[in-house]
Amino acid sequence: MRLFPAFAAALAALLPASAAASICHAFVEGAPGVRVASLGPVAAVEEEVTISYVGHSTYRIETAAGVTILTDYYGNDGEGPAPDVVTMNQAHESHFTDYPSPAIRHILRGWDPFEDGPAEHLVEERDVVIRNVTTDIRGWGERGRGGNSIFVFEVADICIGHLGHLHHRLDEAHYAQLGQLDVVMAPVDGTFTLDLPGMIEVLKRLKARVVLPMHAFGGVSLRRFLDGMSDEFVVRPIGGPSITVSVGSLPDKPTVMVPSNIAWGFFD
């Protein structure tokens, strides 16, 4: 369901400038699927997005217009074309690189390397808009404030979120800035990032239609995560490293989709 323009205008007045144009922002708390009206032309055919698990916290996102994005990029391109866009976070060296290829058009760091304040990104590349919502890194003092970014990719009328190296529960301001996400990539190690009860709480609040796990350090943490989600989410394997989704093909019930290259044999 899309909101009428008058409601959209009222909501836009309450949001930061970078968020006001977003299609992701929920108008009614706890009502997944309610979004700001899209005033552009309606596509005759739904566009699709392919999301593939590369490893660790890196997912590859490929759009209908041919944009390739790699998340928490540390130099591993995986299989497929070189990326047009990479996002990074700084908690550990396995989430960033100091030596990205100069051929990458957009290198989006989730922190401000000059420590002048939180990183702010609003980038449009062909059919995708990318923005970020900052969170803190524990144990780093002032340097950790705003040191992690949740990146949001808006493409094909779908809102995709990557939680990065999330260390803490989200507050109401975070949820307001994120809006209603359709797909969320979440770290599930429960140690280096947010503990599993906290991560499960965040994901149940976000209520995305698809959750893709990442950053699973062994089968024990992944199993605990899946067990903790199974009361409100369907849990199913996806039979490979990739899913292809459109706004019309999203599952009716929130679902944790487990790539085969992170599944640790659970579904054999």
Q: Where do the structural domains in the chain lie, given as residue ranges?
A: 47-258
To 5 degrees, how large is the angle CA 86–CA 90–CA 93?
90
Spatial strand order in the sheet of 234-237: 122-125, 128-135, 148-155, 158-162, 183-187, 210-214, 255-258, 234-237
Q: What residue type is assigned to position 241 of the chain?
A: P
Look at residue 230 in the predicted model and tell me its pLDDT. Answer: 98
Confidence of residue 77 (pLDDT cuts 50, 70, 90): confident
- Summarize pLDDT for 209-268 with one digit per residue, the tens: 999 999 898 889 999 999 999 999 999 999 999 999 999 999 999 999 999 999 767 775
pLDDT of 11 above 70: no
- Summarize pLDDT for 79-95 with one digit per residue, the tens: 888 899 999 887 666 56
Ranges of beta strands (E only) in the chain are 49-55, 58-62, 68-70, 85-88, 106-109, 122-125, 128-135, 148-155, 158-162, 183-187, 210-214, 234-237, 242-245, 255-258
Look at residue 138 in the predicted model and tell me its pLDDT. Answer: 65
Output the CATH code of domain 47-258. Answer: 3.60.15.10
- Summarize pLDDT for 170-186 with one digit per residue, the tens: 999 999 999 999 999 99
Structure pTM?
Answer: 0.84
Sole residue written with tokens 């239609």 = 209
